Homo-oligomer: A and B are copies of this chain.
Amino acid sequence: MKQYRTTRDMLAAAALLALGLHAAIGAELPPKPGVGDLIKTSKAEDWRPLDPDNTLYMELPGGRVVIELAPAFAPNHVKNIKALVRSHYFDGLAVLRVQDNFVVQWGDPNDDDKDKARPVKGAQKTLKAEFTAPASRIARFAPMPELDGYAPQVGHADGFPVGRDPKSGQAWLTHCYGMVGVGRDNDADSGGGTALYAAIGPARHLDRNMTVVGRVVAGMPLLASLPRGPAPMGFYDKPELNVPITTVKVAADVPEGQRSHLEVMRTERPIYQAIVEAQRNRGGPFTKFSAGYVDVCATQIPVREQTP
């Protein structure tokens, strides 16, 4: 069954287009503050610390990957993943798949072998899908004026990139770089968090098809620079190619002195809107042509070391 937009939808979109899709042409654009300049002007209240109870540390041989969980979007999966983590489910498992320009995936190398697969203790192996969430549950949504091909509306909420559909009243996390989702089989309800992936390339076609649980806020280079797998879909086809996961822990369970103290910019604050605008309409002297548009997945969401 297809759901076509109405003429009214189209006109609304055209109006958004007029707002968002103008372009500057000229020999020299006037200089403007860039993202780095704007971050320097930010104040303490423009940042929020990560909640240790909704932050995961995945320790790889190369270092730590920090994942911020998004319980507002996938409450049951976030709860289940934290139960898996606290049962040490992921400790000693591995990165199993790196598909160039698409995803990095990790989990149990023996997941398909009933005799060898790691048992799930105190958590669920599968859960009902949470592809979208009621938009009313998502606080602090800051819309972008940009028209987007994959969603009727896009923007940010609490440091996450978000798509929304005013008609259905649903919202979802968009598959931008570093977003973390739940692997599944063909059945929508066949995932539970034992297999997770992070996007490293265009993956917006997965929006509303996967349960997205959070975002990598530090350590993406550790995942994105891993060797691509030689088998179809980027799977590592030999056990010795697997990249071992030392441990995955909830930050709250890690002694204070061993925690990463990170802050994410509050995306509902004017400073963040200025940062988006600085990427939408870049100034000179390097930029000669300003796009007047920025993709929701091309906007940087600043993260910094916490200042005491």
Residues of A within 8 A of B (CB): 1-5, 10-11, 13-15, 17-18, 20-26, 98, 100-101, 131, 146-150, 177-178, 186, 188, 201-202, 204-205, 207-209, 220-221, 224-228, 279, 282, 284-289, 291-295, 297-298
Alpha-carbon separation in the docked complex, A15 to B7 (Å): 9
Q: Is the CB of A201 within 8 A of B177?
A: yes
Q: Is the CB of A177 within 8 A of B202?
A: yes
19 sampled A-B residue pairs with Cβ under 8 A: A1-B26, A2-B25, A3-B23, A5-B21, A20-B149, A100-B221, A100-B224, A101-B177, A101-B224, A131-B289, A146-B149, A177-B201, A186-B286, A202-B297, A202-B298, A207-B291, A209-B287, A224-B225, A224-B228
Q: Is the CB of A291 within 8 A of B24?
A: no
Q: Is the CB of A2 within 8 A of B21?
A: no
Q: Is the CB of A289 within 8 A of B208?
A: yes
In the complex, what residue of chain B is closest to A208 when comparing beta carbons? B289
Alpha-carbon separation in the docked complex, A146 to B149 (Å): 8
| Distance in Å: Cβ of A225 to nearest Cβ of chain B | 5
Alpha-carbon separation in the docked complex, A15 to B25 (Å): 25
* CB-defined contacts of A2 to chain B, threshold 8 Å: 22-25, 292
Q: Is the CB of A298 within 8 A of B205?
A: yes
* CB-defined contacts of A291 to chain B, threshold 8 Å: 149-150, 204-205, 207
Q: Is the CB of B225 within 8 A of A228?
A: yes
Alpha-carbon separation in the docked complex, A177 to B21 (Å): 23
